[in-house]
Amino acid sequence: QTKIDQDRAERTEKLQGMGCKRKRVEDVRFTQGKGSYVDDLKLPGMLFGDFVRSPHAHARIKSIDTSRAQALPGVVAVLTAADLKPLGLHYMPTLAGDVQAVLAEEKVLFQNQEVAFVIAEDRYIASDATELVDVEYEALPCIVDPFKSMLPDAPILREDIQDKMEGAHGPRKHPNHIFEWKIGDQEATDAVFANADVTIKEMLVDHRTHPSPLETCQSVASFDKVKGELTLWGTFQAPHVIRTVVSLISGLPEHKIHVIAPDIGGGFGNKVGAYAGYVCSVVGSIVLGVPVKWVEDRMENLSTTSFARDYHMTTELAATKDGKIQAMRVHVLADHGAFDACADPSKWPAGFMNICTGSYDIPTAHLAVDGVYTNKASGGVAYRCSFRVTEAVFAIERAVELLAQKLGMDAAELRIKNFIKPEQFPYHSALGWEYDSGDYHTAMKKAMDTIGYKELREEQAKKREAFKRGETRELMGIGISFFTEIVGAGPAKNCDILGIAMFDSAEIRIHPTGSVIARMGTKSQGQGHETTYAQIIATEIGIPADDIMIEEGNTDTAPYGLGTYGSRSTPVAGAATAVAARKIKAKAQMIAAHMMEVHEGDLEWDVDRFRVKGLPEKFKTMKEIAWAAYNNPPPNMEPGLEAVNYYEPPNMTYPFGAYFCVMDIDVDTGVAKTRRFYALDDCGTRINPMIIEGQVHGGLTEAFACAMGQEIRYDEQGNVMGASFMDFFLPTAVETPHWETDHTVTPSPHHPIGAKGVGESPHVGGVPCFSNAVNDAYAFLGAGHIQMPHDAWRLWTVGEKLGLHT
Ligand code: CDP
């Protein structure tokens, strides 16, 4: 028996399947500079485009004179809205049901908005020529503060839709209003608040920031006039959706559009939407008949393509005296900038903000969201989170802390008291979700024991006394966050993009020699898909992961999929992969039965082979079966061994985690040092623990960035203040804290391999954890809620306001 077990263990290890720390196969090319990115593409005759951008946040365009630019040697064309209008392309549809100017026509609505597109023989000439385009503007009063958007005398921003009082999501209350979205039982919630023992209410601002991937957004369009075919390379998180959008807006048939997303250097939501640069490179190539490349620079990326957050959340909790939360009430004022270009599934104008009851059994809740226009860039993307989940988790996790403070209760104890209990799963939340699985108590206990929570609180109590006695100038904060994510969009009943249900797909082909190619509808931006999908297939069909090639990003070869964002790859395409592999396995079983002349039912699966039950020496390996599939299939069976699956998930998956942060803050300088950060994640079945750890490190680093400094700020004239890495905080290894990671495993009951997503959890849980640590440090001094980002300057001002400086 031991020998058989040992043999099985050896064969299992050789597969490098699920659960093993397989090294990332893509890194061989990335670490040797052999990655192939959009900007690496050099095509014969290729031209380069660059934008003329508005210096004003709100201004009327009086005139545009392109003659000086056109006269510059090397300039081939200058496009303006007047050129695009006859083609119906001066506006493009957004995912949120609005339209967005490709090139500004009569007005500009945010600083750096695209006004003209210069196409030249090289990038430098194009850039020089943008300065020769003469645009005459008449500056208009602008709106930067979303709370001023709907004032009666507010300037009307979107004149193109000012008479349209019905938006994509119902009636509009003001020309600068986009939508109102309400969910939950308002009357019941109000009634609980009216009679509650204890309530808290706070305006929690999740400030405007940006995903800022290392590689900016870019595209190369190449139109073949003879064939009438367009090839479009670009930084696309969702290549198939881009192909559909290009077809819809250009009128080109979808089969004549080839969209290719090569290697992508980070996305984090930034590369989901469609941008003016894509449209202009396509138009340029169609008009000129040669390839046109567009590559954003860093300032353009930070100031024009897809901001994140900008949610102003009035958050309330009602509870009993002993800390049982009875109700939650939230109003969000959502600043969407100049166009509603939020990247959410169509029916969700505020994404999955209604996950804001968090990990707690809150019986009654109501959420209302108002979206408004301002003179800022549009976007509203899910920066390393599922749609608006970071905002939702920030709201509940800060609110729980404020409630604990008011009740004089320990913040961890209050959480535990209100957790959804293991036996309550599947759990129906007051705001409409069905949580698939969770064991919050076990995770929290493990986290508290590992971090030494009790001892830390004792140390903090002593430090506070010492601070009051003037013996130290350091404050100690303990941040907690217990988050529940909602990832894997999503079931067709509630998730679509432009009417296309949010399924995803996998196509697996086994070649005669037993090697495999698998193609997915998703697209990695660095998450390691080439490594991990192969691990799923290896375990399912018993072929070593090293013999399996994963391909994504080419719409000609990959099956249609909705792409990668919102940690949906594992919950949706990962499931498709397992189901497609199982189809292959079922066919392989029939072939094996034919080969061994036994009944299918007499066979059992054993790691990499089918063997005859009770006769372990009689077997056929998957490799042998693959060969037979091409030369000796059973009679009446078609040859070949391949399968495709389009997976429509029955539910989302709900990963969760317990995070703790210990922080020391110097009150005199406002400098905050993270002493410890412990992150326990539960993403169900773990495919590759090493990749998960990498994802957690990355997500936490971006959480640290957002909470502790990263911000896109505007001055009163609408000048964007955070548009370069001089001003926008991008932590390096020097600033980034050390991460301690841990896990529990609570599989998803509806996912074929029990896996939930993980890529974004650390970001979602990390942001409130840092903010709670900062707030906890100052809480005993009566600081009240301190808004993010918590950079040293802002924390210094907190000390100043509290009169702590001498
Ligand atoms: O959609 P995206 O790839 O950004 O997110 P994800 O589905 O959370 O996957 C991120 C990476 O973590 C992928 O390489 C997954 O295969 C891996 N992962 C894992 O190893 N185990 C899980 N349970 C979830 C994800």
Say what the pLDDT of residue 490 is. 86
Whole-number Å distance, alpha carbon 127 to ligand 1 midpoint, is: 39
764 CB near ligand 1 (under 6 Å)? no
Say what the pLDDT of residue 726 is. 93
How far is C-alpha 795 from the chain's CA centre? Answer: 29
Q: What distances in angstroms separate CA 133 from CA 63, 288, 395, one per listed residue?
A: 10, 20, 46
Residues 6+ positions from 121 with CB-CB distance below 8 Å = 47, 48, 74, 75, 76
For residue 405, which of 797, 801, 779, 153 has the smallest C-alpha distance?
Answer: 779
Q: Is the predicted pLDDT of residue 329 greater than 90, yes or no?
A: yes
323 CB near ligand 1 (under 6 Å)? no
Find the mean pLDDT for residues 95-101: 94
For residue 652, which of 757, 553, 722, 746 has the smallest C-alpha distance?
Answer: 757
Say what the pLDDT of residue 147 is. 98
| Residue in 486, 530, 683, 695 to alter for ligand 1 test, most ligand atoms within 8 A of Cβ | 695
| Residue in 656, 687, 702, 756 to alter for ligand 1 test, most ligand atoms within 8 A of Cβ | 687
Q: Is the predicted pLDDT of residue 1 greater than 80, yes or no?
A: no
Secondary structure class of 611 (helix, strand, coil): strand
Helices (H) and strands (E) in the chain, counts: 19, 36
Whole-number Å distance, alpha carbon 86 to ligand 1 midpoint, is: 45
| Residue in 20, 24, 523, 527 to alter for ligand 1 test, most ligand atoms within 8 A of Cβ | 527
Look up the ipTM and state it.
0.99
Q: CA 705 to CA 767: how far, in whole Å?
A: 9
Q: What is the pLDDT of residues 170-180, one digit of tens each?
A: 999 999 999 99
Q: What is the pLDDT of residues 294-323, one digit of tens each?
A: 999 999 999 999 999 999 999 999 999 999
Closest ligand 1 atom to residue 532 Cα is: 16
Q: CA 590 to CA 583: how far, in whole Å?
A: 11
Q: CA 534 to CA 543: how far, in whole Å?
A: 9
| Residue in 384, 389, 569 to alter for ligand 1 test, most ligand atoms within 8 A of Cβ | 569
- Contact call for residues 472 and 612 (beta carbons, < 8 A): no
For residue 753, which of 800, 677, 655, 687 has the smallest C-alpha distance?
Answer: 687
Burial 473-503, CB ≥16 within 10 A → b, else e: eebbbbbbbbbbbbbbbbbeebbbbeeebbb
Paired strand residues for 51: 117
Report CA torsion sign: 687, 690, 695, 700: positive
Amino acid at 252: L
Q: What distances in angstroms separate CA 599 from CA 7, 541, 771, one per listed residue?
A: 26, 20, 62
Q: What is the pLDDT of residues 709-748, one digit of tens each?
A: 999 999 999 999 989 999 999 999 999 999 999 999 999 9
Find the mean pLDDT for residues 410-438: 98
527 CB near ligand 1 (under 6 Å)? yes
Report CA torsion sign: 666, 670, 671, 672: positive
- Within 10 angstroms of residue 131's Cβ, the number of other Cβ atoms is 12
What angle separates helix 276-288 from helix 239-250, to the nearest 10 degrees? 60
Backbone φ, ψ for residue 358 (5° rounding): 65, -140
Q: Is the predicted pLDDT of residue 806 greater than 90, yes or no?
A: no
528 CB near ligand 1 (under 6 Å)? yes
Say what the pLDDT of residue 498 is. 87
Q: Which residue's CA is minimally distant from atom 10 of ligand 1?
A: 759
Q: CA 119 to CA 783: how far, in whole Å?
A: 54
Whole-number Å distance, alpha carbon 693 to ligand 1 midpoint, is: 10
pLDDT more than 90, % of the chain: 96
Whole-number Å distance, alpha carbon 520 to ligand 1 midpoint, is: 14
Q: CA 80 to CA 66: how far, in whole Å?
A: 9
Residues 6+ positions from 597 with CB-CB distance below 8 Å = none
684 CB near ligand 1 (under 6 Å)? yes
Task: State the chain's mean pLDDT as an integer.
Answer: 96
Closest ligand 1 atom to residue 569 Cα is: 1
Closest ligand 1 atom to residue 759 Cα is: 8
686 CB near ligand 1 (under 6 Å)? yes
Whole-number Å distance, alpha carbon 635 to ligand 1 midpoint, is: 41
Concatenate the DSSP letters of all residues of 352-407 into one string: TGGGTTTTB--SEEEEEEEEE--SS--EEE-TTSSTTHHHHHHHHHHHHHHHHHHH
- Contact call for residues 212 and 270 (beta carbons, < 8 A): yes
Segment among 244-253, 336-345, 584-593 with least mean pLDDT? 244-253
Say what the pLDDT of residue 441 is. 98
- Contact call for residues 357 and 431 (beta carbons, < 8 A): yes
Find the mean pLDDT for residues 406-432: 98
Q: Which residue's CA is minimally distant from atom 12 of ligand 1?
A: 692
Q: What is the pLDDT of residues 637-668, one digit of tens each?
A: 999 999 999 999 999 999 999 999 999 999 99
Q: Is the predicted pLDDT of residue 568 greater than 90, yes or no?
A: yes
- Contact call for residues 269 and 389 (beta carbons, < 8 A): no
Secondary structure class of 550 (helix, strand, coil): strand
Peptide bond into 789 cis (omega under 30): yes
Residues 6+ positions from 158 with CB-CB distance below 8 Å = 109, 175, 176, 338, 339, 373
- Within 10 angstroms of residue 180's Cβ, the number of other Cβ atoms is 17
Q: CA 587 to CA 601: how far, in whole Å?
A: 13
How far is C-alpha 401 from the chain's CA centre? Answer: 26
Question: Which are the catalytic amino acids?
Answer: 237, 384-385, 760
Pairing of strands 516-520, 548-551: parallel
- Contact call for residues 230 and 223 (beta carbons, < 8 A): yes
Closest ligand 1 atom to residue 522 Cα is: 1
Indicate the helix (H) or strand (E) that contains 743.
strand 740-743
Q: What is the pLDDT of residues 255-272, one digit of tens each?
A: 999 999 999 999 999 999
- Contact call for residues 553 and 523 (beta carbons, < 8 A): yes
747 CB near ligand 1 (under 6 Å)? no
Give the pLDDT band of residue 250 (cuts 50, 70, 90).
confident
Closest ligand 1 atom to residue 760 Cα is: 8
Q: Is the predicted pLDDT of residue 4 greater than 90, yes or no?
A: no
Q: CA 368 to CA 613: how far, in whole Å?
A: 60
Closest ligand 1 atom to residue 571 Cα is: 7
Q: Which residue's CA is minimally distant from atom 2 of ligand 1?
A: 567
651 CB near ligand 1 (under 6 Å)? no
687 CB near ligand 1 (under 6 Å)? yes
658 CB near ligand 1 (under 6 Å)? no
Whole-number Å distance, alpha carbon 486 to ligand 1 midpoint, is: 14
691 CB near ligand 1 (under 6 Å)? yes
Secondary structure class of 457 (helix, strand, coil): helix
Could you tell me the end-to-end alpha-carbon distance of the chain, in angstroms, rounded to an integer?
76
Q: Which regions of 529-668 does DSSP assign to beta strands (E)?
A: 548-551, 603-606, 609-612, 615-621, 642-647, 656-666
Q: What is the pLDDT of residues 25-80, one digit of tens each?
A: 999 999 999 999 999 999 999 999 999 999 999 999 999 999 999 999 999 999 99
- Contact call for residues 270 and 217 (beta carbons, < 8 A): yes
Say what the pLDDT of residue 725 is. 95
748 CB near ligand 1 (under 6 Å)? no
H helix runs in 408-470, sequence order: 411-418, 440-451, 453-468
- Within 10 angstroms of residue 291's Cβ, the number of other Cβ atoms is 23
Indicate the helix (H) or strand (E) that contains 645.
strand 642-647
- Contact call for residues 559 and 505 (beta carbons, < 8 A): yes
111 CB near ligand 1 (under 6 Å)? no
683 CB near ligand 1 (under 6 Å)? yes
pLDDT more than 70, % of the chain: 100
| Residue in 758, 761, 763 to alter for ligand 1 test, most ligand atoms within 8 A of Cβ | 758
Burial 339-366, CB ≥16 within 10 A → b, else e: bbbbbbbbebbbbbbbbbbbbbbbbbbb
